[in-house]
Structure 1
Amino acid sequence: MDPSNEALAPSGPFSPAEREAVYRAIFTRRDVRSQFSPQPVPDDVLARILTAGHHAPSVGFMQPWSFLVLRCPETRRKVQALFEEANAEAVAMFPPEKQAQYRALKLEGIVDAPVNLCITCDPDRAGPVVLGRTHDMAMDRYSTVCAVQNIWLAARAEGVGVGWVSIVDPARLREALGIPERVVPVAYLCLGYVHEAYARPELEVKGWRQRLPPEAVLSFDGWDGRQPGHPLLAAMRAAMGDAGS
């Protein structure tokens, strides 16, 4: 098919209401741990969420992701055991003054959530040479993370909470789920409806970390190009205030 014959989709801005809905999903997305309801996530809702993930951008259009839908309680208990093992190791990595605070945090909802998702990256999905991956072989994993973000935002729009369980040994997780050796587990997510969610990120509310100000993350024309009086910083601070951050 001649690409020149393909119709182009409109690329103008969204309406104010549409734009507000996108930003609302971004600013109210939360990492959910302990507020899951046992209410099942219907297949049509889950299908929309997964379809959003499958429409993420990917390097060379390789679409390296796979979505493992996990509902079996026995499988999820195996993963929970892997989390508990890794979490016991993790607590010792923090300084003594942080360990008690760490132990008080609820860091997973593997059994509580009605659905778990393991999202993987297959580096061989498009062959050994991939357009755009020729000089950075990690681009396929970055693409997979884009799918994770799409899933998270779509879930928020559906009123479904998501929690990312990152405290698990990837090799042990691969073995537990029968994932081929070449395939990389990128994200393990817990999905379900929630009773309530924090207005701000839970770790911020509980004093673990605070959101960094624009001055800490923005520079111009190079790494050291800090400009404290730049108007973009003021605009970002105003936008963060509007977002409730």
Structure 2
Amino acid sequence: MDDDAFTDAERAAVYRCIESRRDVRREFLPDAIPEAVVARLLAAGHAAPSVGFLQPWNFILVRQAETKAALHAAFAHANAEAAALFESARADLYRTLKLEGLLEAPLLLCVTCERGRAGPVVLGRTHQSEVDVYSTVCAVQNIWLAARAENLGVGWVSILSLDDLRAILGIPEHILPVALLCIGRVSHFAGTPDLERAGWRARLPLEELVFAERFGAPWRDEP
């Protein structure tokens, strides 16, 4: 076997990591994350693929209680606005959901995208202008999976005004905040996603989402 080939056990571990990853909101423990582990997570993010090798990301580490409190207040305001967009029973269910762990997680991480890092013309972005943002999301996913391998939970907080996020974290206007992550040790990893357990949405069957050759064409022949 080639030296760079994965063993069966290593391959199984990768798939287990992917399948057991969860968006964590409520199971955080107060334990500090060792700096060596934080460094490994950041290295995983920095190893993400990026169009044109742009590497458009920056990472802001947040540990101070005052900053967390400001972010939580901004979330609470945005969350109240979001709840008002749903109707009747859906709104009631929404208000029962815990959608962040900003105060509980020992570490918050904001991942940003510096869209002009390589100038106005970027290899691979000439016809699809958003690929630098997609590349940054790949960095987020790398961090998420690396955190799961480190037995750390991660929650992505998206119910937050970007203007508030910029103001609280001092992010320049030309930098795009992409993800605010809550990271920490957790009491356990749930067997199914929180929103699925709460009855918000069910996981879609993969077979309904895959097509062959053309959009809408069956992936597999009907039995």
Give the match for residue 117 of structure 1.
Answer: 109
Give the match for residue 73 of structure 2.
Answer: 81
Secondary structure (helix, strand or coil) at the match of 1:171 reads: helix
The AA in structure 1 aligned to 2:133 is R
Secondary structure (helix, strand or coil) at the match of 2:28 reads: coil
Distance 1:229 1:13 in 2: 33
Give the match for residue 52 of structure 2.
Answer: 60
Distance 1:211 1:11 in 2: 37
The AA in structure 2 aligned to 1:52 is A
1:214: Cα distance to partner? Answer: 1.8
Distance 2:206 2:4 in 1: 28
Matches within 5 A, 1:152-231: 152-227=144-219, 229=221
Give the match for residue 131 of structure 1.
Answer: 123
Are residue 93 (structure 1) and residue 85 (structure 2) matched? Answer: yes
1:227: Cα distance to partner? Answer: 4.4
Distance 1:38 1:99 in 2: 31
1:158: Cα distance to partner? Answer: 0.2
1:226: Cα distance to partner? Answer: 2.1
Are residue 23 (structure 1) and residue 15 (structure 2) matched? Answer: yes
1:124-145 Cα distance to aligned partner (Å, 9 max, x none)? 1111111000011100000000
TM-score (norm 2): 0.96
Q: 1:140 to 1:21 in 2, by over 3 A?
A: same
1:193-221 Cα distance to aligned partner (Å, 9 max, x none)? 00012101111111111110023211111
Q: 1:187 to 1:24 in 2, by over 3 A?
A: same
Distance 1:16 1:230 in 2: 32
Sequence identity (%): 54
RMSD (CA atoms): 1.4
1:53-107 Cα distance to aligned partner (Å, 9 max, x none)? 0000001001000000000110111110110000000001112120111111111
The AA in structure 1 aligned to 2:87 is P
Give the match for residue 132 of structure 2.
Answer: 140
1:229: Cα distance to partner? Answer: 2.6
TM-score (norm 1): 0.88
The AA in structure 2 aligned to 1:51 is A
Distance 1:205 1:185 in 2: 30
Show structure 1 runs of 5+ residues with no match: 1-9, 232-245
Q: 1:33 to 1:18 in 2, by over 3 A?
A: same
Q: State the number of aligned residues.
A: 222
Show structure 2 runs of 5+ residues with no match: none
Q: 1:216 to 1:155 in 2, by over 3 A?
A: same
Q: 1:230 to 1:68 in 2, by over 3 A?
A: farther
Are residue 103 (structure 1) and residue 95 (structure 2) matched? Answer: yes
Secondary structure (helix, strand or coil) at the match of 1:211 reads: coil
Give the match for residue 240 of structure 1.
Answer: none
